[in-house]
Amino acid sequence: MNYSKKLILIFLGFFIALIILELMIRFSFNFIPDEFLPTHGIYQSTSPIIGQKIIPNSKGIWSKEGFSRVEINSKGWNDYERNYSKKRKTIRVAVVGDSFIEALQVDKSKAIGSVMESWLNKDCNSIPADQNIEVLSFGASGWGTGQMYLTITNEIVDYKPDYVVLAFFPGNDLKNNIYELELNPYRPYFELEDNKLILSRSPLINNNIKRDTYRFLRDNLMIVQLLREPIANIFWKISRDKQIKETNSNNKSINEYETKIKLIEDATWGNSLDSVYVTKAWKLLESILLKTSKDLEIHKSKLITLIVSRAEIVDYEEDYVKNDWAINNNIANIFYPEFRLEEFGKQNNIPIVSISRNMSDFNWNEKNEGIKFHGFKSTNNLGNGHWNENGHKFAGEVVGRKICEIYENN
């Protein structure tokens, strides 16, 4: 048998084995309990304007944290299917944010958008009974505030919302707005030049034969989806280390990068506020929020800013948080983002909802038993991470009450 025939037989044998393994994996998923199903079928693509969002009409399992069977709508959002047109006597609310609003960790019927919609329709006495409330969700993991702004002005306004709730997570959203910290060319970034907000970087669209081939195999072969995560993490770390060295100077690159990360982390706790770098980061955020508010006014829509809670504060006892954790971590002000943005909101007529204040007030009240609003028993991170069903329910009702109050006062 000649060499070429041997190669063909080897290839056919490999192909047949791959197909058999693929069929076995798909078949076995019908019998594996939910808690043991691996995450698969949920991947992001890159928009030329807003950057990353989930691939439209995709379906899959999310079990990295919590569990849900995910079905993405035709526009690429983890939400029910929505029409651009709005029916008469309908009040629309749009919620936009990062992974807390994307909410892959829970079923969408339990996520903040669904909770808000249900609460407003049933419990807001200020809204006439003949008015219908719709709450639409627009979230994507890893987003910064600049991406939320671009999503609002390029997509959300087409749905004609009456209110837009923009969720700011102090844990990483300041960092997500800055290219030299994110080093992700597939996202847009804004900068301030002479106190004017400008789009400094548009998302890079990486389309080539290799990537298109990978996407085809990923979308059609379960075995590729299961192998993807560990392999992708390795390549991501290699690429990130290379970008850090290229972005910063000489042998000091890693130290310079880590110093900047530390400054931004400190900035969300009221530390390092005299740093020029920190001052610019906060000013960039506030400029984006102000621009968002003014642009929405043109569309007769009202911006509400939601400050997402942090588990390390709200899921633990008051004495521990204030007297042990905060002191040991040199935290100047556990509610610094809330304090700062509440003042900013008063000055610029932007309602601010501080979920951490509400959750901590609830958990630190002697009449209430402490509730874990973050994390999941199933993934062993209770009291840490994203909102669980308790967190989404609590946040949804708090924001619903705020919208009800704003509607009544107007």
Q: Strand 196-201 to strand 189-193: parallel, antiparallel, or no bridges (unpaired)?
A: antiparallel
Say if residue 15 is in the same domain as residue 146.
no
171 inside domain: yes
User: What is the span of the domain harbouring residue 89?
Assistant: 82-409
Average confidence score pLDDT of the chain: 91
137 inside domain: yes
DSSP code string of 303-351: EEEEE---HHHHTS-HHHIIIIIHHHTT-S-TTHHHHHHHHHHHHHT--
- Are 58 and 43 contacting, i.e. CB atoms less than 8 angstroms apart? yes
- Alpha carbon 183 to its chain centroid, in Å, reads 18
- How sure is the predictor about 106, in pLDDT bands with cuts at 50, 70 and 90? very high
Say if residue 204 is in the same domain as residue 291.
yes
Say if residue 170 is in the same domain as residue 22.
no
What is the reported pTM? Answer: 0.92
Say if residue 207 is in the same domain as residue 274.
yes
**Domain containing 195 — which CATH number?**
3.40.50.1110
Say if residue 235 is in the same domain as residue 153.
yes
67 inside domain: no
56 inside domain: no
> How many angstroms separate the CA atoms of 70 and 64, rounded?
13
Q: Is residue 169 predicted with pLDDT exceeding 60?
A: yes
- Are 96 and 158 contacting, i.e. CB atoms less than 8 angstroms apart? no
- How sure is the predictor about 295, in pLDDT bands with cuts at 50, 70 and 90? very high
- Are 76 and 53 contacting, i.e. CB atoms less than 8 angstroms apart? yes
> How many angstroms separate the CA atoms of 283 and 293, rounded?
15
Say if residue 305 is in the same domain as residue 212.
yes
pLDDT digits (tens, 9 = 90+) for 109-120: 999 999 999 999
Say if residue 171 is in the same domain as residue 278.
yes
- How sure is the predictor about 108, in pLDDT bands with cuts at 50, 70 and 90? very high
Say if residue 93 is in the same domain as residue 25.
no
Say if residue 23 is in the same domain as residue 87.
no
295 inside domain: yes
Say if residue 368 is in the same domain as residue 230.
yes
Choose among 173, 177, 176, 86: nearest CA to 136.
Answer: 86
> What is the structure's pLDDT at 124?
96
Beta strands in 18-118 (DSSP E): 44-47, 51-54, 59-62, 68-71, 90-97
63 inside domain: no
The one-letter code for the residue type at 273 is: L
DSSP code string of 283-294: HHHHHHHHHHHH
Buried b (16+ CB within 10 A) or exposed e, 263-277: bbbbbbbbbbeeeee
166 inside domain: yes
* Least confident window among 58-67, 219-228, 378-387: 219-228
pLDDT digits (tens, 9 = 90+) for 250-263: 555 667 888 888 99
Say if residue 213 is in the same domain as residue 295.
yes
Say if residue 330 is in the same domain as residue 212.
yes
- How sure is the predictor about 3, in pLDDT bands with cuts at 50, 70 and 90? confident
46 inside domain: no
Looking at the structure of the chain, the number of domains it has is 2
